[in-house]
Amino acid sequence: MTFAICDDNTSYSEMLFQKINSCFQNTSDSFLSSLIVLPPYKTGNELLEAMRKQHVDVVFLDIGMPEIDGFDLAKIINKQFSNSMIVFVFAHNDYVYDSFDYSPTYFSRKTKTDEELENLLLKLIAKLDENHLKIIVSTHDKDEVVIQKDIEYLESSGNYTLFHLISDRTIHCRGALHNFEKDLSCNRFVKVHPAFYVNKEHIKFVD
């Protein structure tokens, strides 16, 4: 998993870079030990260029930056790199309400970095871990690994279960729906009908 920081305040971004790295030093957890924190970027254009070359799981974004500010940058990230999570970093609370329009995952106050960073990182790791959960499905000729966040909904169809993916692909899997219930993330899926499990992220409204 990869973290990136974008802030024109180099002293703060370097401090944040060091603190994030120090939180995961000497860990025996293989998931946490895979953490990569990229060297901080001073401008949004530098960050976007890097994100086009490699996947970034979490972006810490300052809001007030030259060339392109954090809000406009978030708009681009949400459109072009929708799987990346955004954490807005700000020094003034005035930005909080405006930032809701850009769907950040979390906020971080620069004045409270020491007190809040570790808890924030734990929340991000939990979300990332959830995003990497997989399920193995058996089709007619092979077993296939599916990332659970890529499933829009599951549908029971006789002795088969249909996995409807967000890519508009449907996998016809041998086995009744109840065989997969124990493997589904209870934080992500909800049973809306005896024959359907739906990914909560894709529920548009409840009638």
Q: What is the pLDDT of residues 147-192, one digit of tens each?
A: 888 899 999 999 999 999 999 999 999 899 998 988 888 778 999 9
CATH number of the domain that residue 151 is part of: 2.40.50.40
Mean pLDDT, rounded, for 15-38: 79
By percentage, how much of the chain surpasses pLDDT 70?
Answer: 96
Question: How high does pLDDT run on average in the chain?
Answer: 88
User: CATH number, domain at 123?
Assistant: 3.40.50.2300
* Residue with more model confidence, 203 or 94: 203
134 vs 112, higher pLDDT: 112
> For position 28, what pLDDT does the model report?
61
Instruction: Find out whether 108 and 99 touch, Cβ atoms under 8 Å.
Output: no
151 lies in the same domain as 67: no
Q: Are residues 179 and 159 in the same domain?
A: yes
The answer as to whether 44 is a domain residue is: yes
Write out the residue range of the structural domain in which residue 159 sits: 134-202
Cα–Cα–Cα angle for 151, 155, 156, rounded to 5 degrees: 140
Least confident interval from 28-32, 80-84, 172-176: 28-32
CB pairs under 8 A, 24+ apart, for 69-78?
Answer: 69/44, 70/6, 70/44, 71/98, 71/99, 71/101, 71/102, 72/44, 73/6, 73/44, 73/47, 73/48, 74/99, 74/102, 74/103, 74/104, 75/102, 76/44, 76/48, 77/48, 77/51, 78/102, 78/103
